[in-house]
Amino acid sequence: MMPAGTQILVLKEGTRRERGKGAQSNNIAAAKAVADAVRSTLGPRGMDKMLVDSLGDVVITNDGVTILKEIDIEHPAAKMLVEVAKTQDEEAGDGTTTAVILAGELLKKAEGLIEQSIHPTVIAAGYRQAADKAREVLEKVATKISIKDADVLKKVAMTAMSSKSASGHKELLSDISVKAVSTVAEQRADNSYFVDDDNIQIVKKQGGSIGDTELVDGIIVDKERVHPGMPSEVKDAKIGLVDAALEVKKTEIDAKIEITDPTQLQAFLGEEESMLKRMVETVRKSGSNVLFCQKGIDDLAQHYLAKYEIYAVRRVKKSDMEKLAKATGGKIVTKLDELTKDDLGYAKLVYEKKIGEDEMTFVTGCKNPKALSILIRGGTEHVVDEVERSLEDATSVVAVGIEDGKVITGGGSSAMEIALGLRDFAATVGGREQIAIEAFADAVEVIPRTLAENAGLDPIDILIELRKEHKKGNKFAGVNVFTGKVSDMKKENVIEPIRVGVQAISSATDAAVMVLRIDDVIAARSGGGAPGGGPGKGGEGGEGGGDGEEF
């Protein structure tokens, strides 16, 4: 029999373990720290972050998901909030900061309830009920729109960009976003729409100003023609798309070629030349007068292509090749000998144009107009990168607006409506879940509160004013961060797709509930082996093993 008080070692030496309330408060503190990191970026009066990585590369952004992806986060609970931002970005394209702040606030409110000895699973159950009710409220306050409502869609794009540094040019950029998305939207059998963002190609070129950004009806390939003797523009282009090299390959095996007299050398070179000539002849016979090649084109082949007045571009990116195939109706051929006129794509005009320092190839007037390009310009590299992020957000929100056909108002108005609805709902639930639902209602108010804080307003005054307006039935009342007053967000044109709100609530609730249910954190020491194994390979432990994860 073991003497009383003998300690049994189950976990490996060096493994750290936190249990009960200590583990919970540690996890909640980590999640709150992540939410606080992006909190100051919310809204039109939000500030930007400058992120510098170990190589000294700089990213200046206001985009929640970009900030969280760039920060090296160590704590496992904090990583879950980064996942919230990533999910929000993939699903809705905007509202990443909102989702993360909401998740942090839900956990903060839950901490207060845990201290009052309310069990975490009760809080989790209340939060789930509240999230379902919140989605119902959003459906009620939503307004229907269609692809024809270009004006509303433009407002949606402008709202997504108002907090970004590109907001000075939001008129132009939102116009471009709406035109681009409306063009590539495909109608389904049940009259709903589907938008594939990949059909919109975004090309960045430093130089000029943001105002020089333009929408190009076609595809831009960031390459120049391979030979100056080729025509700089081709009308009625018949386009060959080849994923093969116009070069004489070296033998696969290390073969030794022995040449003993000069005539053999001449014959060898002659054969190489005639092989290249045959390749170019194949292209010419197919009727192609423009050639996009994914691999290299030999100097001699370039000469023959120029002689036949074929516009050729080499080493084109695979993604660009796929877009060209889609836009021109051509087929990508992997074996040059197989190229026939049936594989060719068509465009009205292919031309070369100098943008900034570089020559670029423009393919316009395509067979299938459902592929477009946006050429982004800006004063510095960081500006161009941030405009790209803003445009991606804008095109995403317009796309989900068209797909779902419903929009809600922003500026914290929908959040206040949810809070009001949840407080009424909580009274009907009763029991301990009621307290959790009320906590959820308080947490949702973090959105208008943060908008007010970032604008330098008194958050308490704003919240009291908002509650009063919503009680009166003004469901579109939100924070006007420019005037510092509460005003009608519909009239102020602050509109976002319903998916942004719905997804933010879903992913924030899921993350909060998951963190709440953890009462034990067991962290293997850095570089430890797999559980039960020997020392193991550094940082290669199996599940629950040494992932080198420390906090």
Pull the structure tokens for residue 195.
């938008």
Residue pair 157/94 in contact by the 8 Å Cβ criterion: no
Q: Which of 41, 48, 61, 63 is catalytic?
A: 63
The CA distance from 447 to 410, in Å, is: 10
159 is catalytic: no
Give the residues across from 234 on adjacent strands: 350
3-state secondary structure 253-303: CCCCCCCCCHHHHHHHHHHHHHHHHHHHHHHHHCCCCEEEECCCECHHHHH
Contact 487, 457 (CB under 8 A): no
Separation of alpha carbons 391 and 160, rounded Å: 9
DSSP helix/strand/coil, 11: coil
Beta bridge partners of 204: 376
3-state secondary structure of 522: strand
Q: Choose the catalytic residue: 41, 66, 97, 395.
A: 97
* Annotated active-site residue in 41, 61, 66, 96: 96
**Distance of alpha carbon 415 from alpha carbon 429, whole angstroms:** 21
List, in sequence order, every residue forming a beta bridge with 495; answer none if it has no partner: 409
Give the separation between CA 503 and CA 206, rounded to whole angstroms: 34
What is the 3-class SS of 366-424, one letter each residue? ECCCCCEEEEEEECCHHHHHHHHHHHHHHHHHHHHHHHHCEEEECCCHHHHHHHHHHHH
CA 300 to chain centre: 43
**Is 96 a residue of the active site?**
yes
Per the CB < 8 A criterion, the answer to whether 392 and 61 are in contact is no
Query: Of the listed 298, 393, 404, 510, which one is catalytic?
Result: 393
Q: Is 183 a catalytic residue?
A: no
Phi, psi at residue 39, to the nearest 5°?
-55, -40
- Side-chain half-sphere CA neighbours of 256 within 13 A: 2
Q: Do the bridges between strand 233-242 and strand 345-355 make them parallel or antiparallel, or are there none, so unpaired? A: antiparallel
Q: By the 8 A CB rule, do 402 and 182 touch?
A: yes
Of 369, 388, 390, 386, give the one whose Cα is nearest residue 182: 369
Between the two ends of the chain, the Cα-to-Cα distance in Å is: 39
Q: Among this protein's residues, is 450 annotated catalytic?
A: no
The two beta strands, 345-355 and 214-216, are unpaired
Phi–psi pair at 36, nearest 5 degrees: -65, -30
Report which of 471, 363, 355 is spatially closest to residue 416, judged by C-alpha positions: 471
Distance CA 4, CA 9 (A): 15
Pairing of the two strands 200-206 and 345-355: unpaired
> Catalytic amino acids?
63, 96-97, 393
